[in-house]
């Protein structure tokens, strides 16, 4: 059972963790055929959006496509006298954690803002908006007062004593909030960022809803800034799962930049510039971007304003400092900073490696930031480059690094495994996911208790009865080794924020592949894929 999502302290603490070789398979030699095989990015896009339907909490809509899920969490918030039904389960269990959920929605929205035309061309724009709205509808409910936000439903400790379907939950559904007396600037700031970004995604199709989202975003930012504090100091129950290691300064800068982009109000950019030094925006040289550590994203958004000329002269010098730190991150991901310790480690197969626990979250977020930054450079003009040590790197090379990470996820790796579940001939079959690992509620409605779930389902060696299509699992270790085992939660549990950055990437790469005449393999059915991976892993 998972007891902690990840440690996000690498930007501050040098932490190198090595997975135990006794529980992992040795990596095979790099498979050149897998590396050369074209990928069907359109299929990957369609499947990535299905994952968010599998993670839904609440009363499922008539258009629900993931049929093995049913209604769950229908009394969330009842004890506190507030409606908290809805939202997303973040991973393979059933706690609704506000901080990673909000980051997921921010990244889904950002995907549409950068690559929405490509998503629409693939016929998936409506589904992408639905994935965002399932989260934003919940945030509106959870923001019950201008200075009050419900930040968690459920308790991780009790939840992890049970292995149940969400439809059978008997664990605590206690809800926890941040307010004036118990502040949470990080979770309120991230939720403000999510709502501001989402407001732009909905502006063309649902302007009234977009206005409502922006109203909540502005209130939440004011709350986060006025009543400052870390949310894990106010909600002790979150410390073992999503502790805010980076603090809340990055979320305040992040939210202000998204509000500036959504409103165009100079006051938000003034905030980002005036607080740049004190909040670490121009101080931290970061080598990761995650649900906790937003500095690289902050620095990239600030650089966008510089490249586009969307600033006053008094902002320029500070925005140049933001750009220097943004380029440190880009160079780190490309392995081009002067000092080796300033670069992100790579596995022998080329995967960016930050830490052993759910490393894929750092791979997908890095791929997204690299791709987006390459686009900003291209839009700014042919002379724009990333300055890495003594080397100037052009937009195309930056983009090439981004695409290589996406292709690694999809199977261009030494093991030839797609870490996007349901895609390709071989993918993880024993995902650490309660709902996927137990027979569907619609097929067997009798109650399955905590212990029964462990006894009858958790320890099974066979493939999960349900394929959680579109999930991106934690992935392999620093040596490309991966063990497809439900017990191996560090590698086989998937999270919403792993997949969210890939939605836009898959759509954009689909367009690029078509423009260059790259043929894609004919997709096989999920059933066939599951059987293939089941056979291969059983043999291993």
Q: Give the active site residues.
A: 93, 432, 484, 493
Residue found by looking up tokens 């090439």 in the block: 400
* CA 378 remoteness from chain centre: 25
Phi-psi region of 453 (alpha: psi -120 to 50; beta: other; left: phi over 0): alpha
**Nearest partner of 434 among 92, 51, 162, judged by Cα:** 92
Buried b (16+ CB within 10 A) or exposed e, 29-65: ebbeebbebebbbbbbbbbbbbbbbbbbbbebeeeee
- List 494's β-bridge partners, or say none: 473
Tokens at 39, concatenated: 């990928």
Would you say 370 and 313 are in contact if contact means Cβ atoms under 8 Å apart? no
Instruction: Characterise 416 by phi-psi region: left (phi > 0), alpha (psi -120 to 50), beta (else).
Output: left
CA 527 to chain CA centroid, nearest Å:
26
What's the burial of 278, exposed, middle or buried (CB within 10 Å: 0-12/13-18/19+)?
A: exposed
Tokens of 38: 């074209």
Do β-strands 352-353 and 386-388 pair in parallel, antiparallel, or remain unpaired? unpaired
Tokens 């963790």 locate to 17
Q: Is 423 left (phi over 0), alpha (psi -120 to 50) or beta?
A: beta
Q: Beta partners for 387?
A: 392
Cα atoms in the Cβ-side hemisphere of radius 13 Å centred on 376: 24
Of 443, 495, 496, residue with least CA distance to 465: 443
| Gap between the Cα atoms of 324 and 387, Å rounded | 8
Read off the DSSP letter of residue 335: T
CB 371 within 8 Å of CB 346: no
What is the Cα 47 distance to its own chain's centre? 15
In terms of Cβ atoms closer than 10 Å to its own Cβ (0-12, 13-18, 19+), residue 539 is exposed
């Amino acid at each position: 059972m998972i007891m902690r999502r990840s440690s996000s302290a690498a930007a501050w603490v040098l932490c190198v963790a090595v997975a135990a070789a006794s529980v992992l398979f040795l990596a095979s030699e790099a498979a050149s055929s897998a590396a050369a095989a074209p990928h069907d990015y359109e299929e990957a896009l369609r499947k990535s959006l299905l994952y968010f339907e599998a993670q839904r909490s609440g009363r499922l809509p008539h258009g629900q496509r993931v049929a093995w899920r049913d209604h769950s969490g229908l009394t969330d918030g009842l004890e506190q006298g507030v409606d908290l039904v809805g939202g997303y389960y973040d991973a393979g269990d059933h706690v609704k954690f506000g901080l990673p959920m909000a980051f997921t929605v921010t990244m889904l929205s950002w995907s549409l803002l950068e690559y929405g035309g490509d998503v629409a061309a693939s016929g998936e724009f409506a589904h992408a908006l639905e994935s965002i709205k399932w989260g934003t509808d919940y945030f509106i409910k959870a923001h019950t007062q201008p200075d009050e936000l419900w930040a968690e439903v459920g308790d991780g400790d009790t939840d992890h004593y049970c292995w149940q379907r969400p439809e059978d939950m008997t664990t605590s559904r206690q809800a926890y909030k941040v307010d004036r007396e118990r502040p949470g600037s990080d979770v309120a700031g991230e939720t403000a960022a999510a709502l501001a970004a989402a407001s732009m995604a909905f502006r063309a199709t649902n302007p009234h809803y977009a206005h409502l989202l922006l109203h909540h975003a502005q209130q939440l930012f004011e709350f986060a800034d006025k009543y400052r504090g870390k949310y894990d100091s106010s909600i002790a129950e979150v410390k073992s799962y999503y502790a805010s290691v980076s603090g809340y300064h990055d979320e305040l800068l992040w939210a202000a930049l998204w509000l500036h982009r959504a409103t165009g109000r100079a006051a938000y950019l003034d905030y980002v510039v005036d607080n740049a030094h004190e909040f670490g925006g121009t101080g931290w040289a970061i080598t990761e971007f995650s649900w906790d550590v937003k500095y690289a994203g902050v620095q990239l958004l600030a650089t966008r304003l510089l490249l586009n000329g969307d600033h006053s002269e008094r902002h320029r010098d500070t925005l140049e400092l933001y750009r220097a730190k943004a380029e440190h991150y880009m160079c780190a991901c490309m392995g081009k900073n002067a000092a080796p310790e300033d670069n992100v480690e790579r596995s022998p197969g080329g995967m960016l490696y930050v830490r052993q626990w759910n490393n894929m979250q750092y791979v997908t977020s890095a791929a997204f930031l690299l791709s987006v930054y390459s686009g900003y450079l291209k839009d700014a003009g042919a002379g724009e480059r990333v300055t890495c040590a003594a080397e100037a790197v052009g937009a195309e090379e930056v983009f090439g690094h981004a695409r290589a990470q996406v292709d690694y996820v999809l199977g261009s790796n030494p093991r030839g495994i797609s870490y996007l579940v349901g895609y390709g001939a071989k993918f993880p079959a024993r995902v650490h996911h309660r709902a996927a690992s137990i027979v569907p509620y619609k097929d067997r409605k009798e109650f399955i208790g905590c212990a029964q779930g462990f006894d009858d389902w958790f320890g099974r060696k066979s493939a999960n009865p349900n394929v959680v299509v579109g999930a991106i699992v934690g992935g392999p270790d620093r040596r490309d080794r991966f063990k497809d085992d439900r017990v191996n939660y560090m590698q086989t549990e998937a999270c919403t924020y792993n997949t969210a950055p890939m939605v836009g990437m898959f759509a954009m790469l689909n367009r690029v592949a078509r423009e260059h005449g790259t043929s894609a393999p004919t997709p096989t059915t999920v059933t066939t894929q599951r059987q293939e991976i089941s056979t291969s892993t059983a043999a291993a």
